[in-house]
């Protein structure tokens, strides 16, 4: 019988239910006591579940799932199929112009996160081009944007303001405000852009 119990423990252990519970709780910045109040389960029991010392019954797991707004399938999905980790190798990246078939391209970009399936953000490597001010077009989109200049000099226009940026400068702003990028000088200018909807 001990052998059967070990097999069951191994089979359940592969799903890493405790790790998934802890991840959900930390995403909500919730303590064990607070989760206990929401679920009617003791913090000590929840701690054992998270550490994999105890496997939850389905009703217990369902109580927890309802607090976090996920289905039971969240706990029984193979992590490798969910692709929570997405590695993009340098040689795999594809370069695109900012706008297809545009005459004057302000920057070319390469997607840095396309292999992740549950993306909460979008990250790009941008290669900024030298364009005269009159050829710059503003754009805007929902959410926020973060830009880290890796090398070169860049002017970022946000609304009516100009922000000169140098290598290793960073800027965070509301992307709903019209904005544009302009490389200053002939030297290459690259940066990482992260947008969050």
Looking at the structure, tell me whether residues 152 and 173 fall in a common domain.
yes
Burial class from Cβ neighbours inside 10 Å (0-12, 13-18, 19+) for residue 168 reads: exposed
Mean pLDDT along residues 144-160: 96
Encode pLDDT of 177-196 as tens digits: 999 999 999 999 999 999 99
Q: Could you tell me the two tokens for 41?
A: 């389960």
Query: Residue 19 domain-assigned?
Result: yes
Do 111 and 182 lie in a common domain?
yes
Q: What is the pLDDT of residue 104?
A: 82
Proportion of the chain above pLDDT 70, given as a percent: 92
Residue 2 has pLDDT above 90, yes or no: no
Can you give the pLDDT at residue 185?
A: 92
Of 63, 86, 57, 68, nearest to 20 by C-alpha is: 68
If one counts every other C-beta atom within 10 angstroms of the C-beta of residue 111, the result is 16
Q: Are residues 121 and 54 in the same domain?
A: no
Residue 84: inside a domain: no
Q: What is the pTM of this model?
A: 0.62
Residues 58 and 96 placed together within one structural domain of the fold:
no
User: In this structure, are 16 and 66 located in the same domain?
Assistant: yes
Pair 51, 102 in one domain: no
Query: Mind listing the pLDDT tens digit for each residue in 20-61?
Result: 999 889 988 899 999 999 999 999 999 999 999 999 999 999
**Average pLDDT of the chain to the nearest whole number:** 88
Segments forming the whole domain that contains residue 54:
2-79
Write the CATH number for 62: 1.10.260.40
What is the spatial distance between Cα 20 and Cα 75, in angstroms, rounded to a whole number? 7
Q: How many domains does the chain have?
A: 2
Residues 71, 126 within the same domain: no
Please state the three-class secondary structure of the chain as a single string. CHHHHHHHHHHHHCCCHHHHHHHHHHHCCCCHHHHHHHHCCCHHHHHHHHCCCCCCCHHHHHHHHHHHCCCHHHHHCCHHHHCCCCCCCHHHCCEEECCCCCCCCCEEEEECCCCCCCCCCEEEEEEECCCCHHHCCCECCCCEEEEEEEECCEEEEECCEEEEECCCCEEEEECCCCEEEEECCCCCEEEEEEEEC
Residue 43 confidence (pLDDT): 94
Contact by Cβ (8 Å): 122, 146: no
Q: How many CB atoms lie within 10 A of CB 179?
A: 20
pLDDT in tens, 68-121: 888 888 888 766 566 567 888 999 888 888 877 667 888 999 999 877 766 788
Among candidates 185, 146, 140, 187, which has minimal Cα distance to 169? Answer: 146
For residue 193, what pLDDT is reported? 97
Tell me the mean pLDDT in the region 4-27. Answer: 86
């Amino acid at each position: 019988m001990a052998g059967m119990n070990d097999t069951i423990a191994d089979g359940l252990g592969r799903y890493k239910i405790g790790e998934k519970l802890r991840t959900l709780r930390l995403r909500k910045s919730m303590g064990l006591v607070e989760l206990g109040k929401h679920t009617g389960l003791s913090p000590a029991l929840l701690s054992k579940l998270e550490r994999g010392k105890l496997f939850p019954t389905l009703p217990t797991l369902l109580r927890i799932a309802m607090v976090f707004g996920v289905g039971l399938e969240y706990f029984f999905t193979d992590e490798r199929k969910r692709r929570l980790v997405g590695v993009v190798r340098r040689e795999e990246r594809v370069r695109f112009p900012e706008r297809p078939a545009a005459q004057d391209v302000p920057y070319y970009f390469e997607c840095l996160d396309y292999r992740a399936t549950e993306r909460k953000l979008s990250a790009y490597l941008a290669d900024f081009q030298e364009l005269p001010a009159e050829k710059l077009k503003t754009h805007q989109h929902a959410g926020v944007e973060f830009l880290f200049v890796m090398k070169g000099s860049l002017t970022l226009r946000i609304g009516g303001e100009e922000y000169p940026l140098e290598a290793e400068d960073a800027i965070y702003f509301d992307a709903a405000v019209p904005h544009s990028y302009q490389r200053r000088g002939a030297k290459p200018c690259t940066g990482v852009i992260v947008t969050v909807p």
